Structure 1
Amino acid sequence: MSTLPFDVAVGSVQGREHARSGRNNQDAACVRASEHGLVLVVADGCGSQPCSELGAQLGVRRLAQAAQARLARGEAVEGDGFLPGLREDLLGLMDGLASALGREVLGDLLFTVVGAVVTPAHTRIFSSGDGVWMLNGEVHALGPFPGNAPPYLAYALLRGEDVPLVSRALVPTGDVQALMLGTDGVGDLLGLARARLPERDEAVGPLSRFWTEDRYFTNPDAVRRRLAQLNRESVRADFAERRLSRTPGLLTDDTTLVVLRRRMGRA
């Protein structure tokens, strides 16, 4: 359990188009806490692969576990070698799976990642591929990439490409008030503030609600429930036209976010 003065909220929902085509939610999220700090990671599996949700799930867990292990060994998150070492830890898992199961398994290990490591002294945000991150209310979208083809870490093993974990921010943890990590579905959510919910006459509202409203931190299921509400199809009877009127959910892609917020009155 972390002693850092932060609360964390997590939520994920299957995208409308994934549901329509019979695909699983291919996003994943992982939060690991210890006396050394907090690690938060989200990943988005490549939609064209049959089991990409498995790769995303393995990826976030390996990154979170490896980051905590490095912190436990006394490595500094602000050090130049922290992210390259973390990348090698993840590629080591992928390479081991390829050796045991065959290189074709690497096709199911294509995923983008956005993560953060929060220690008492420093906070580092990093990514590989597309997604969204926010620090103290300032939101940054990653991508899109040409041809909607982001770089995947597994390309280092498949193609010999040098795909790094890119540092996006390194700040003193004392300066962190709120932080959010999201898959690229959150990028779609950014443009929906004035849209109306399918089932009711209510505006979606700004993305900032997820880190400013207390309910998302007091109820562990509140983020998921809100995302599901935004993506619930509305079916209404039009008696005059003698037909059913359908309003689709608002989130076309799988949408996953992790939000961290400083507890009120805590330094």
Structure 2
Amino acid sequence: MDTRTPLPFEVAAGSVVGREHARAGRNNQDAWCVRGSEHGVALVVADGCGSQACSELGAQLGVRGVAQAALTRLAEDGRVDEAGFLPGLREDVLCLLSELRGELGRDTLGDFLFTVVGAVVTPSHTLVFSAGDGVWSLNGDVHTLGPFPNNAPPYLAYALIRGDDTSFVTRALVPTADVHALLLGTDGVADLAKLGAASLPSSEETVGPLSRFWTEDRYFENPDALRRRLAMLNRESVRADFDARRLVRTPGLLPDDTTMVVLRRRVGRA
């Protein structure tokens, strides 16, 4: 996806299938989306419910739906600092999911169980919100959402399936002038955040802190650099132990699908 923005920010994003999902032959059930317009930028990550047959479909449709609905609201003079913005965005997304159920001609609501961590950045204000678990960080202050009881996050689609009063929750609302670095991640990023001192499977290099994803230029210079870094962290290493006459396997570091979108202010621009 296009990660260019009309605001004085640059964006990097990437996703990798988790070690356990790869072993089971399952797809990556995470998704991300970045979309911009003259009114602002919407950034969204989602994690599909692992027990559903096509949760990766729901996550992919979900991030696109949330991002586009947010930009549509901005185009209609919606303001992220107004009390009605998030409730209205919730209704837009639920309406989309209900329409998709009818268009697809089968009961797809179970596939639409996905968590959301999102942000809408406008020239005046930046809103960070969520529905379910994940990770978000603003200017280096990292917050983990969840886990929830019985590993059951409040999926937004529960409002359609069970009538639950699930909603988007505001995590931060700040002047955009105060935003220097923003990270949105699925719950796999919570595992990654604990691995700073760990070594990569194939070398003695350490993983390092999450902050490297918004402080190191390489992730913004190459659109595939962040994904490649996540893939390197999760690449199994195999070496020969000649004395023991056996192969030694070192598994990847990330057990769960791991996805992040990182936004930082461009150097030299206000």
Sort the TM-score into its range (normalised by shorter chain): over 0.9
Q: Counterpart of 2:253 in 1: which secondary structure?
A: coil
Question: Among 9, 13, 17, which residue is 1:14 paired with?
Answer: 17
Alpha-carbon distance in structure 1 between the residues aligned to 2:103 and 2:211: 44
Number of the residue aligned with 2:169: 166
* Alpha-carbon displacement from aligned partner over 1:128-178 (angstroms, at most 9, x marks no partner): 000000000000000000111111011000000000000000000000000
Alpha-carbon distance in structure 1 between the residues aligned to 2:71 and 2:263: 17
Q: Which moved more, 1:1-10 or 1:120-129?
A: 1-10
Return the letter of the residue paired with 1:251.
L
Alpha-carbon distance in structure 2 between the residues aligned to 1:251 and 1:15: 6
Return the letter of the residue paired with 1:110.
L
Q: Is the 8 A contact 1:98 1:104 kept in 2?
A: yes
Q: Trace 1:2-81 onto structure 2 (pairs within 5 A).
A: 2-81=5-84
Unaligned runs of 5+ in 1: none
| Count of residue pairs the alignment pairs up | 267
- What is the percentage of aligned positions where both structures have the same residue? 74
Alpha-carbon distance in structure 2 between the residues aligned to 1:241 and 1:87: 59
Number of the residue aligned with 1:153: 156
The alignment status of 1:110 with 2:113, answered yes or no, reads yes
Q: Which moved more, 1:123-132 or 1:76-85?
A: 76-85
Q: Trace 1:115-264 onto structure 2 (pairs within 5 A).
A: 115-264=118-267
Q: Counterpart of 1:104 in 2: which secondary structure?
A: coil
* Alpha-carbon displacement from aligned partner over 1:44-87 (angstroms, at most 9, x marks no partner): 00011110000000000011111111111111111111111111
Q: Counterpart of 2:165 in 1: which secondary structure?
A: coil
Question: Cα offset for 1:266?
Answer: 1.2
Q: Counterpart of 1:50 in 2: which secondary structure?
A: coil
* Alpha-carbon displacement from aligned partner over 1:73-122 (angstroms, at most 9, x marks no partner): 11111111111111111101111122334562101110000000000000
Alpha-carbon distance in structure 1 between the residues aligned to 2:84 and 2:105: 30
Alpha-carbon distance in structure 2 between the residues aligned to 1:75 and 1:46: 31
Return the letter of the residue paired with 2:8.
P
Alpha-carbon distance in structure 1 between the residues aligned to 2:189 and 2:230: 10
Number of the residue aligned with 1:87: 90
* Alpha-carbon displacement from aligned partner over 1:2-30 (angstroms, at most 9, x marks no partner): 43100000000000000001110000000
Give structure 1 regions of 4+ aligned residues with deviation exceeding 3 angstroms. Answer: 100-103
Unaligned runs of 5+ in 2: none
Q: Is the 8 A contact 1:198 1:233 kept in 2?
A: yes
Q: Counterpart of 2:107 in 1: which secondary structure?
A: helix
Q: TM-score, normalised by structure 1?
A: 0.98
Q: Is the 8 A contact 1:14 1:255 kept in 2?
A: yes
Alpha-carbon distance in structure 2 between the residues aligned to 1:149 and 1:156: 14
Considering only aligned residues, what root-mean-square deviation do their CA atoms show, in Å?
0.9
Q: Is the 8 A contact 1:2 1:36 kept in 2?
A: no
Distance change in 2, residues 1:91/1:103 (3 Å): farther
